[in-house]
Each structure stands twice: as structure tokens, then as C-alpha cells.
Structure 1
Amino acid sequence: MDEFEREAHRARDLVGIGQSISSITNSLISGEDHFRSALVHSVAAVDSYVHGIVLDRAVDILMGRLKVEASSKIGLSFSAIGEIMSSGPSGSVEVEMAARTYVTERLGLETYQRPDNIATAFSMVGISKIWSTAFPNDANSQKTALGVIVSRRNRIVHQCDLDPLSGGSATPITADDALNSISVIEGIIKTIDPYC
């Protein structure tokens, strides 16, 4: 959670830089690209947070410190499992480091930004029904809010945030748009975190 909060703060700093650039240039230079960067960074903070939770719990499962009912797989190869098991005495630091290395490598192939992907990631390490558990009265609205932000993030990183309806110009974004996205994401992660 500390890492997530640090990254959310960095996203807010990007908004501040954009505001400062716009202010000192009397709006001759727009801060919009910094606002876009802030939104993208806040979604990356979600992805990083989920990866961290899944990594820690997966290693605890492999080391026998955490028993879960989950039957999902993370897809480690037999050779990776063999390397983990032969890296040292059972329960040793060497075994844990090998487990951490292979799980990190495997999780590096996944993104956990969209609500359903987050739920799937958590369920494979024993955290089931995260959305209805953390948000018993408004899980769908929280999932929708995050989904909208992630969709905007995807448009920014995959399509330069271009609006096809306006002749290829960038979709406007304000400091408040970015700050609101960061706040929504912070609220979601802070509510989810106690269940992880």
C-alpha cells in the first residue's frame, strides 16, 4: 500500500507540473500531456499494486506459508518449479528468492488494470469476490468508474488520445480530470487493500 500511495503522489506531481507549465507560459504551452501522463501513471499504480499483492501471496503459497482454496493457475513451467525446488533446502531464502523470481517473470506477462482482471488475479491467490466484498453496495459503479479510467488510459497510450470525431485532434483533458481519476483510483485501492 505504501508503494501505491507513493505512485499516486507521483501522479499528482505530474498534474502539478502541468499546471505550473501552463501558468508560467500564460497557457501558451498546455499542461495537458502532463495530465494525460498522470492518468496513465495512476492506472500503472493499480497494475503495480495488484502485481505486488499477487506476487507476495503466490510466493507465500509456494513456500507453504499460506493455504488457499483457489484452484487457478499462474502457469509456471515444470522446469521453473524444478528450479525453485532444487535451489536450496525447503523453506530457505534461496528457495523463496527462486520462487519470487519465477513468479515475477510469469506475472510480467499480465496486466491487472480492468476490474475483471483484478478479480481474476486476486482469486488465483485466494482472495475471492473482491469487488462485492470490498464494495457490497456499489461494486458495479466502482468497477464502471475504474473501467472508464482504464479505457481513457488505453486511448492515451495506444491512440495518442486522438478523438476520431474531431479530425484527429487530441481529446481535451484538464487538471481536474486527471486529479479526479487519481482520487477514484485511490479510493478503490484503499477500500480493497484491507481484504488483501
Structure 2
Amino acid sequence: MQSALDQFRVSISRVRDLIALHNSVKAQATGALDISDMLRAALVLAVSALDYYVHEVVTLGMLEIHRGNRAEPKASANATQSAFSRFEVSLGGARQDRLTAIDIAAWLETEIQQAQGYAFLQQTHSVSALIPIISSSIQSRLNNTSWLESEIRKRLGYQSFQQAGKIADAIRYISDKKLWDEVATQMSRSAKDIKQQLNSIVDRRNKIAHEADIDPTFNIGSRWNIDELLVGDAVDFLEMLVESIHQVL
């Protein structure tokens, strides 16, 4: 799951580069040149980096659980199964594993032939000699989760993980911890304040992305005010937030 955090750090670095570019151009340009849209782009990109991080860390975490490398979260008090166990995949995706299990002998023969060569199958071998080969083939098959990864990405791809509630819902697939309480401890702030600030940043992002940041109370073309301090604070907060979430996980 570390790769999800690494990618977030790269994305946030790009955001900071964009803010720095804005500040450099602003210092050299006249006041008549409005370059505030660079800041709007930076804010949208920062929230997108958060969204992508949540998608990635949940996808990778679910694959780790499936492989047995991560513990499955416990079911909540009002549910009989964890969110992970309730996650739905298509029968088409799971069908190939079922077909393999039905004709396991033919599958093993093919796997051993590919790994050891045709001549190996023409020889006589003891069971003890075959066990490591069979075990390796089965282990390799179990670790091949490309179909499941595709299913998870497809299902999660329809969703947005930006608002506090949506992020908590996503994290429940891989963790039973009370996310915002744990993050609040990491950030030394109240969970309520953290969620309010996050949702405020996302609301502003939505104004930019979906409403062209238009302020309808003024004349046509008027936009909500934005400056480098507002965007810088938002980026600092989002960076600290993601680092804290990753520590919790």
C-alpha cells in the first residue's frame, strides 16, 4: 500500500510546483493580468490527489486481504460480515477460478509442464518431490489477482472519495478502525474540525470544477475570491491528512 502514498506525494509535489509557478508569474506581471485560475487548478489537482490516494490504498489493501497478507476487518456491530466480505464481484470474474478448481488435474499438468518441461512429466516422481512443485503452482495461481483487481477498480471507479463520510466508507473495506478518531489523534485536532475543514475544501473544489467558480451574487463573470494563502493552507492540510490516514492504516 506504500505505492499509494508515494504517488500522492508525487501529485502534491506537482501541486506545489503549480503554486510556485503562479507566485513567480504574479511577481513579474502587472495587476491587470488575472492568473488566479492557476490556483484554482492547483486546488482541484490537490483534491484529486486525495481521491486517487483513497482509491489506490483501498484497492491495494483489499488485494492484500485476499492474498492473506492483511487481516480482514471485523464486522460492525449491526452487520454479520465485514465491508470487505460484502464487496460484490461479478460471476464472470470469479468463474475462471471455479473452472480451474473443477478440472484441477488438467490445470496442474499444464502448469508443471510449463515450469518443468514436457520430459519431466514422462518420468516417475515421488509424492514428496512433487509437493513443492504443486505448492508453488497453486501459490502462484492464488497470487494472480488481476481479475479481482480489475473488479475492484471497476466498482470503486464509479465512486468519489473526497468528502469525509465517503472516505470513511471506503476505508472500512480494509480497516475496522474508527478512521476520524484515529486521524484526530495523529493530527492533534478534533475529528469534527478535521472533517469540517476537509468538506469545506472539497466544496470549494466542486464550485471550481462544476460551477466555474462563479459567484452568482455579483455581475456576470465574477468569481469567488482565491489566493495563494487559501490554496497553500488547503494543500498543507490535505498532505497532513493523507500522511495521517496512512499512519492509521
TM over 0.5: yes
1:97 aligns with 2:146: yes
Instruction: Give secondary structure in 1 for the equivalent of 2:22.
Output: helix
Structure 1, 128-137 or 90-99: larger mean CA deviation: 90-99
2:70 paired residue number: 66
Tell whether the 8 Å contact from 1:113 to 1:150 is kept in structure 2 after alignment.
yes
What code does the residue aligned with 1:81 have?
Answer: A
What code does the residue aligned with 1:176 have?
Answer: L
Cα deviations by residue, 1:55-87 (Å, 9 ceiling, x for unpaired): 011111222332312422333222222246668
What code does the residue aligned with 1:115 have?
Answer: A
Normalization by structure 2: what TM-score?
0.72
Using the alignment, how far apart are the partners of 1:175 and 1:41 within structure 2? 14
* Correspondence 1:75-86 to 2 at 5 A: 75-83=88-96
Normalization by structure 1: what TM-score?
0.90
Using the alignment, how far apart are the partners of 1:83 and 1:27 within structure 2? 63
What code does the residue aligned with 1:112 have?
Answer: F
1:31 aligns with 2:84: no
What code does the residue aligned with 1:92 have?
Answer: S
Tell whether the 8 Å contact from 1:131 to 1:139 is kept in structure 2 after alignment.
yes
Residue 191 (structure 1) shift? 1.6
Larger Rg: 2
Tell whether the 8 Å contact from 1:47 to 1:113 is kept in structure 2 after alignment.
yes
What code does the residue aligned with 2:168 have?
Answer: A
CA RMSD of aligned residues (A): 2.1
Using the alignment, how far apart are the partners of 2:49 and 2:139 within structure 1? 31
Q: Which residue of the other structure, out of 119, 131, 139, is the alignment partner of 2:168?
A: 119
Distance 1:84 1:103, change over 3 A: farther
Distance 1:61 1:27, change over 3 A: same
Structure 1, 50-59 or 68-77: larger mean CA deviation: 68-77
Cα deviations by residue, 1:30-51 (Å, 9 ceiling, x for unpaired): 2210100111111011111111
Using the alignment, how far apart are the partners of 1:156 and 1:114 within structure 2? 16
Structure 2 gap ranges (5+) = 76-81, 101-106, 108-136
Using the alignment, how far apart are the partners of 2:169 and 2:194 within structure 1? 16
Using the alignment, how far apart are the partners of 1:8 and 1:186 within structure 2? 7
Using the alignment, how far apart are the partners of 1:85 and 1:59 within structure 2? 19
* Correspondence 1:164-183 to 2 at 5 A: 164-168=216-220, 169-183=222-236
The count of residues paired between Structure 1 and Structure 2 equals: 196
Using the alignment, how far apart are the partners of 1:90 and 1:117 within structure 2? 37
Tell whether the 8 Å contact from 1:38 to 1:178 is kept in structure 2 after alignment.
yes
Tell whether the 8 Å contact from 1:21 to 1:29 is kept in structure 2 after alignment.
no
Structure 1 gap ranges (5+) = none
1:153 paired residue number: 205
Distance 1:8 1:50, change over 3 A: same
1:7 paired residue number: 11
What code does the residue aligned with 1:150 have?
Answer: V
- Percent identity, aligned pairs only, is 26
